[in-house]
A and B are shown apart, each in its own frame.
Chain A
């Protein structure tokens, strides 16, 4: 094993002796890099980051795999349209300040996206190498450049903001949509204030995504970059309660609502209120926002011995992998469809398996069984099979008559999804909503109220970080146009 100092030197040494131009054949010959990871047997007992990041050498070599094709399909696959070939070219040439300049110009939160974006269904699936061998590891490289930029802030040329417009914009929520919006608007010269309901910034990046996948230090650094750009952030303000949308409209020239879909859907089965049953939101908030995983945290959490997590999305993976790190002997995913239908990222499922997570497919919870003292002791499940395709295009699970089974568990986490939180919208009765309570917008992100825009999960329902950011970015252009029109 290399000593830490040697490892450090190896990672940060400039890559010299690099050929300027490789032939396509030479590029094609390079194999896709493997992300260095913490050993599964160790990492499933700690909260340190699983992916360790590429070395400078690995990054440069991986970037040389990019064929610099003319069609640039990867850029189209990215919801915020990062100029991927350009920044990869700079990495290939080991010109990291230039790579950082390009990346930061297109993406407000690259260190976040490089870690949590589903690249395999966005930029990477579009890569021309995707069908042949393996796509260029755009996500790994994004993370590499973003991390380098955070450690070398002085070497990165920050683009000066546009001249001040004197226009004031309010952003509701400091999650991925809100942070992206704030960064874009600040860059365009508008004065921006973010209102955050919790005591910390980041929204789902803070309370939802665990430390082992997205270290909170990364969120802190991305937020502090926004603050340096002049963005004001006021925490502990719940729009709809502390101030109303109407009051904001009087004070600000434009408003962006990106408050998320923070309302857990319930299983609605018997036993849901037993002690030891959590919504994923509560389970993850206790651990991530309130640091319940630390021994010295005043916020407690039940450390289950046998934990069942219901659901098949990224939140379910986060919860089940968290339970393992809290010391469970057995942690199981219970999902009503099959493996192919799971909405979680491939990497999360792979990591979960490596960490000893068990998967029970085609099973839906029927009842949570309690002991005489009100604690969870079991989960009764119904076997399912796949029937006709439903509205989502996936085959609908239907119960297999008479086939049920019981699992012994002491903690159950419900990760079946979220709905629109009505706290803001009920206080703004004129704001137009759809049937499910999500805010209705046009193609510019504008709501029916003049000067009020919205994006992210409060518009789409529970989706991904990058889609929320894409909303923030595209609505920013519309808000900029609106503000410049407005006197």
Chain B
């Protein structure tokens, strides 16, 4: 059992949890994830480890309630426990000094981006962070990211915070400016956002690293359910990733495979009690 020590709402349905998991806290490196199963009979879902405190034996998890299981995780109160946490899984981020790096985060992806951006800054990179969301309440971790970013740029689709528009617009301007053009890009967020970032950087041949989150079960390479196509090779995101060269990723296949259980998910959400169901439907709008 893994006790929840903190549970803070960052944005509608987005929670930051601090959980006691001493073994994971000690072993974890930026970019790695855990498999969480909130309760007996529950589903196993992968969540990126946002941060860790090996001395305190705790890890930070960010979770967006978009389905029955994530709702359950987000709803775990302080003092309650998550039944299973296994990890750290996946390969750690390749942290090196690229020079100038653009870190691009969208929605919950910003939380996944946070530990990488921090590690990149600590490795001596000049980090420009671009984060976006639908509207102001969905932009998370701005102050935390500002602390080590040379520049922090925010976009919202409705213009309620920062620039109106998408993260790709701001990134395009950065690439077009020879004084600001990044040597590498880390893009983490919804698949359409990562795909769009890759299309922006591709003509300029700027190394672009994305973090993929396909459907997983065990997270240890045992089942192959999380397979993705990268440069014509089939890879298992859980053990070969989760980070890949974005210019080689077959995003169309990723989107398609992510939709495999849409009907079942809808049925599951439909079976939830009304107040929980509304919570998920609202955030998905």
Contacts and interface: CB of A to CB of B under 8 A. Distances in A.
Interface stretch (B103-111, B185-193, B196-204, B260-268): B260-268
Contacts of B264: 300
A286 interface: yes
Contacts of A302: 260-261
Contact of B217 (A272, A273, A285, A298): A285
B223 A290 contact: no
Contacts of A242: 23-24, 27, 86-88
Interface size of B as a range: 35 or more
A291 interface: yes
A290 B220 contact: no
A291 B221 contact: no
B47 interface: no
Contact of A237 (B23, B224, B234, B256): B23
A297 B224 contact: no
A343 interface: no
Contact of B222 (A272, A296, A300, A421): A421
A235 interface: yes
A400 interface: no
Contacts of B180: none
Contacts of A422: 221, 239
Interface residues of A, number: 38
A178 to B, nearest CB: 15
A262 B221 contact: yes
B149 interface: no
Nearest to A370: B256
A contact face: mostly helix, strand, loop, or mixed: loop
A286 B215 CA distance: 12
Given A238-B86, A241-B89, A275-B260, A285 B222 contact: yes
Contacts of A272: 234
Given A237-B23, A238-B87, A421-B222, A286 B217 contact: yes
A236 B217 contact: no
A273 B87 CA distance: 26
Nearest to A282: B223
Interface in B72-91: 83-89
Contacts of B256: 275, 374
Interface string A273-306: 1011011011001100111000011111010000
B277 interface: no
B261 A300 contact: yes
B224 A262 contact: no
A238 B84 CA distance: 13
B41 interface: yes
Nearest to A242: B23
Interface string A254-270: 00000000111010000
Contact of B87 (A241, A279, A300): A241
Interface of A: 197-199, 207, 235-238, 241-243, 262-264, 266, 272-273, 275-276, 278-279, 281-282, 285-286, 289-291, 296-300, 302, 374, 421-423
Interface of B: 23-24, 27, 37, 41-44, 68-69, 83-89, 217-218, 220-225, 227, 229, 234, 239, 253, 256-257, 259-261, 264-265, 268
Given A199-B84, A263-B221, 13 more contacts: A197-B218, A198-B86, A242-B23, A242-B24, A242-B87, A263-B222, A282-B217, A285-B218, A298-B42, A298-B43, A299-B44, A421-B222, A422-B221
